[in-house]
Amino acid sequence: MSGLASYEIDGRIATITMDDGKVNALSIEMLKELHGLFDRAEREQAVVILTGREKYLSAGFDLNVFAAYAAFGDLALDRPVTALTLKPRLARMATATEPTPPAAPVTATGPLLALSP
């Protein structure tokens, strides 16, 4: 891991914190790291809270990746950009049917995803 995100677990609640020292742009490196941390949370059957460093969740996708992709296509990356998106993973987590202990006194099923600035 490159240190762009951290992982802490307390019981079955995992907190993934993005911190690139700036505004947490979703670069290829950040996306790879997030996937690795989400993989870990899935192995540990943890509820996930995704957050950013103080004041920033994420500025969105890193525009430098678009420039490299426009110039060189998938050759600029070690895999297609579409393989790095978090959308399918988050959708799968949101529709999981296995009961998961909630992070707050609410009724919840499936892994819970909370986004906090």
pLDDT at 11 over 90: yes
Look at residues 40, 43, 47 and name the one whose alpha carbon lies nearest to residue 106: 47
pLDDT at 21 over 80: yes
Q: What mean pLDDT comes out for the span 46-58?
A: 87
| Domain encompassing residue 52 | 5-116
Query: How many structural domains are present in the chain?
Result: 1
Instruction: Tell me what pLDDT residue 17 has.
Output: 93
pLDDT at 47 over 90: no
pLDDT at 110 over 60: no
- CATH number of the domain within which 95 lies: 3.90.226.10
Report the first-to-last Cα separation within the chain, whole angstroms: 23
User: Among the listed ranges 39-48, 70-79, 100-109, which one has the minimum average pLDDT value?
Assistant: 100-109
